[in-house]
Amino acid sequence: AMQQAAQRVAEVLGADKTDVFLYEPADDTLVAVGTSDTPMARREAEVGLDRLPLANGGGTVGVFQTGRGRLSRHTDQDPDELRGVVDELGVRSQMGAAIEVGGERRGVLMACATGPEAFSEGDLRFLQAVARWVGLVAHRAVLVERLARTVAEESMRAAAEALVGELTPRQQEIAALVAEGL
């Protein structure tokens, strides 16, 4: 789903690359979990810029840390941007929007282009709206997963209770003693 979202956003914006980065706490890193199918995106993976440690900084990390949208029309002149993004990928303009899931900042939706001034303030507002949508979809997926887990647990509990009901009174006493020992 994240891959498809990144691809569609790239197509709508005419971006050379769009990424959905999610935060991986174990490594303190933003990881591209959805990336448009473009030459720039393939190059990003080749040079390792699909994993962005927070300690390295850069525009994408800045969006994640602050939660504020970012529009850089001349990325090659941006002192906050990672040199690899500019030199290895050829990014000259980019914009990013924070992704929140259930009220918690979880990642960044990023769009990049090789041309300067490729994006407008209106494009950034669009990207922010898409980032909110991605966050809502992710939140609903989490809720559905929790609900499915709860239903499965309740079904197992009900099946166990039904089986216990078929036991003789003495077998039920033994089952209760075993359950207490767990």
Per-residue pLDDT of the chain (182 residues; tens, 9 = 90+): 778 888 889 999 999 999 999 999 999 999 999 999 999 999 999 999 999 999 999 999 999 999 999 999 999 999 999 999 999 999 999 999 999 988 899 999 999 999 999 999 999 999 999 998 888 877 566 556 666 676 667 777 767 677 667 767 777 777 677 767 66
Query: Over the range 119-144, which residues count as b (16 or more CB within 10 Å of their CB) and which as e?
Result: beeebbebbbebbeebbeebbeeeee
Query: CA-to-CA distance for 63 and 67, rounded, in angstroms?
Result: 5
Query: CA-to-CA distance for 93 and 75, rounded, in angstroms?
Result: 5
pTM of the model: 0.76
Instruction: Please state, in angstroms and as integers, the Cα–Cα distance from residue 104 to each residue in 82, 135, 138, following that order.
Output: 25, 9, 12
